[in-house]
Amino acid sequence: MTVESLFPRLEPLLPGVQKPIQYVGGELNSVSKDWDSAQVRWALMYPDAYEVGLPNQGVQILYEVLNERDHILAERTYSVWPDMEKVMREGDALGPIPQFTLDSHRPVRAFDVFGLSFSTELGYTNMLTALDLAGIPLYAVDRTDEDPIVLAGGHAAFNPEPIADFIDAAVLGDGEEIVLAISDVIREWKEEGSPGGRDEVLMRLAASGGVYIPKFFTVDYLEDGRIKRVAPNRHGVPWRTAKHTVMDLDAWPYPKKPLVPLAETVHERYSVEIFRGCTRGCRFCQAGMITRPVRERSITTIGAMVENGLKQSGFEEVGLLSLSSADHSEIADIAKGLGDQYEGSNVSLSLPSTRVDAFNITLANEFSRNGRRSGLTFAPEGGSDRLRKVINKMVSEEDLIRTVAAAYSHGWRQVKLYFMCGLPTETDEDVLAIADLAKKVIATGREASGRRDIRCTVSIGGFVPKPHTPFQWAAQLGPEETDARLAKLGAAIRSDRNYAKAIGFRYHDGKPGIIEGLLSRGDRRVGRIIEQVWRDGGRFDGWSEHFSYDRWIEAAGKALADEPVDLAWYTTREREYAEVLPWDHLDSGLDRDWLWEDWQDSLEPEGAIEVEDCRWTPCFDCGVCPQMGTEIQIGPTGKKLLPLSVV
């Protein structure tokens, strides 16, 4: 049965909201397929505003992968701003207007799967808004066969327990292959007449071992609030759910037809992921840990993707993306090849993610041939050499100074340095070392360039311990302590007239980080807090102008009033090895003992023990390669660097 478009009802209401164009759809390369010809239908959501959600690479890739199959239909939806939410709830003569997709303006509730991609946990309240507007019950246990399967993915899905009551399923890791496998299961179930209803199709997904169904697991707690056990409550449900890893990126050259926004977005470029995964081993970095192993795209595929993507989109900027793009084994050839091809054109090339120890002037010059020389961004993360060893960020002060000297001497005038505050073992002295380092950068730049118009921006983010990292057991620094250290740092930067005007200082206070920490390492009880915040008006918590720390504090007090745990228990408390963590039953491929040993190595009293990148050294037994049946892949042929006997 055809599901009609809601646009005739929406159109008269759009003049009453800000930026109505973000709700219109019809972007270049968007897809609107015949409803009745599809057997499986997906509504894909990045739970943030259009300007943030549309450029999201993950959603765009899955949107294309799904729509390339004749029997599958995929459409997109994004979070609506509060003014649009109000208009939709008030509705028209026919009643409220439900959450809709952009491609055909169909109601989200009519789809088979409502898939949400979470790169940050602060989008959870936006999910509840979308569910409520769609007419989908907030709680999974209340849904019927008329409701879609609510599926979570993205980095935050590696601990979906805080939203376990609100989702039907979660997927860990790469999505390209698993979304098609899920579609096949749903298609087969529907062709059989949907036997057993909703529970049956969820059971089929769970039995595969690759889709986590929270309601098929029971969580028991100890009297002190810690988790006693997480165990399946249905026969045939595996005890652990594994992540998905796409090994051959050349076989998945997406997006082939990137979406071109109608309204201004945070990124307006064609992005090519040149490799996936990272084995640098930064102990704070969840992305690097959960995306192992490294898998490179070949130079041939990268070149073909760039050429086709520009042709299909008309974009004038190409971003070569990865967690550390300059680490690609053929990056020099890639840069020269693309530089030669697009020299003299209006196409600019960028390498958004560059490590200090991977940067070189030759590479930088290749990416600025067309005269577009923007500032350089480096992330030392810690202010002192000691602290950088703790976090396994093997970049010395000497490395940084040498790199910025080369950059300033070759015409760059602006450098941005990114650090974190609140890292394990951090002291006031470690933070104040950031000011000293920034001053040395300016002094070096002035000397190397012979100019005074040298700038350095210091940007500080709060450290949030993340699941599946060596720091998953660490205590988080409280907001008051974070703010006090940042105040001292600001004063130190401003104290010297010779440098004060040359150094920019940007930072986030400690409050949003504490809430992110709560949501990152929380268990199912945290879902009550999320719901209370949402009912109290919480929306767009990732936006500083909408975030309310007081609202979260009040909600936590209400939701946990009868529990032996509180906000501090979830955030500023260090965990012990024996404690069952909320995500221990979700398999990222990393060996738990290896993570613990790496955590202990960071705390060595004689100095933290550093770990090399396993692409260039013998294996460190993190567990990924043997557990996931994967290999380290590198180079133009995609061959592993080391023989299996070593890996």
Quick one: tokens of 308?
């086709």
* Per-residue model confidence as pLDDT tens digits over 259-288: 999 999 998 899 999 999 999 999 999 999
Quick one: tokens of 402?
């040498």
Q: What is the CATH number of the domain that holds 285?
A: 3.30.750.210
Does 68 lie in the same domain as 15?
yes
Does 45 lie in the same domain as 186?
yes
* In a domain? residue 200: yes
* Per-residue model confidence as pLDDT tens digits over 430-483: 999 999 999 999 999 999 999 999 999 999 999 999 999 999 999 999 999 999
* Per-residue model confidence as pLDDT tens digits over 483-533: 999 999 999 999 999 999 999 999 988 999 999 999 999 999 999 999 999
Q: Is residue 518 within 8 Å of residue 582, measured between CB atoms?
A: no
Tell me how far CA of residue 352 lies from CA of 240, 347, 462, in angstroms: 36, 16, 21
> In which element (H, E) is residue 492 found?
helix 479-494
Q: What is the CATH number of the domain that holds 173?
A: 3.40.50.280
pLDDT at 640: 37
Q: Is residue 130 within 8 Å of residue 79, measured between CB atoms?
A: yes
* In a domain? residue 140: yes
Residues 6+ apart with CB under 8 A from 243: 158, 172, 173, 174, 290, 586, 587, 588, 589, 628
Does 109 lie in the same domain as 148?
yes
Does 110 lie in the same domain as 37?
yes
Rounded to an integer, what distance in angstroms lies between the CA atom of residue 127 and that of residue 135? Answer: 12
Choosing from 242, 277, 300, the residue where a domain stops is 242
pLDDT at 18: 93
Task: Count how many domains the chain has.
Answer: 2
Q: Is residue 354 within 8 Å of residue 341, measured between CB atoms?
A: no
What number is the average pLDDT over the span 77-95? 97
Does 273 lie in the same domain as 238?
no
Tell me how far CA of residue 498 lies from CA of 417, 452, 560, in angstroms: 19, 10, 51
* Per-residue model confidence as pLDDT tens digits over 635-646: 544 443 332 222
pLDDT at 495: 93
Quick one: tokens of 426?
């951090």
Phi first, then psi: what are they for 77, rounded to 5°?
A: -145, 150
Rounded to an integer, what distance in angstroms lies between the CA atom of residue 161 and that of residue 138? Answer: 15
Tell me how far CA of residue 25 lies from CA of 104, 238, 434, in angstroms: 8, 41, 45
pLDDT at 639: 42
Does 236 lie in the same domain as 182?
yes
* In a domain? residue 274: yes
Does 89 lie in the same domain as 43?
yes
* In a domain? residue 388: no
Does 85 lie in the same domain as 215?
yes
Given a cut of 80, whether residue 1 has pLDDT beyond it is: no
Print the domain residue range for 71.
7-242
Choosing from 191, 225, 242, the residue where a domain stops is 242
192-209 as b/e: b if 16+ CB within 10 A = eeeeeebeebbbbbbbee
Rounded to an integer, what distance in angstroms lies between the CA atom of residue 143 and that of residue 613? Answer: 46
Does 170 lie in the same domain as 41?
yes
Q: Is residue 312 within 8 Å of residue 27, measured between CB atoms?
A: no
pLDDT at 632: 64
Quick one: tokens of 164?
């376990």
* In a domain? residue 12: yes
What number is the average pLDDT over the span 379-403? 94
Residues 6+ apart with CB under 8 A from 376: 354, 359, 364, 407, 412, 414, 415, 416
* In a domain? residue 28: yes
Quick one: tokens of 242?
């594994």
* Residue that the structure tokens 């504090």 belong to: 553
Choosing from 225, 242, 259, the residue where a domain stops is 242
What number is the average pLDDT over the span 601-629? 87
Query: Is 610 exposed, middle or buried (CB count within 10 Å of its CB: 0-12, 13-18, 19+)?
Result: middle
Omega before 352 within 30 of 0, i.e. cis: no
* In a domain? residue 466: no
Percent of the chain with pLDDT over 90: 85
For residue 248, give the DSSP letter.
-
Does 63 lie in the same domain as 164?
yes
Residues 6+ apart with CB under 8 A from 562: none
* In a domain? residue 229: yes
Omega before 424 within 30 of 0, i.e. cis: no
Does 77 lie in the same domain as 205?
yes
Does 180 lie in the same domain as 84?
yes
Dihedral angle of Cα 397, 398, 402, 404, to the nearest 10 degrees? 10
Rounded to an integer, what distance in angstroms lies between the CA atom of residue 261 and that of residue 252? Answer: 23
Q: Is residue 563 within 8 Å of residue 225, measured between CB atoms?
A: yes
Residues 6+ apart with CB under 8 A from 352: 319, 320, 321, 325, 377
Q: Is residue 350 within 8 Å of residue 380, measured between CB atoms?
A: no
Amino acid letter for position 175: G
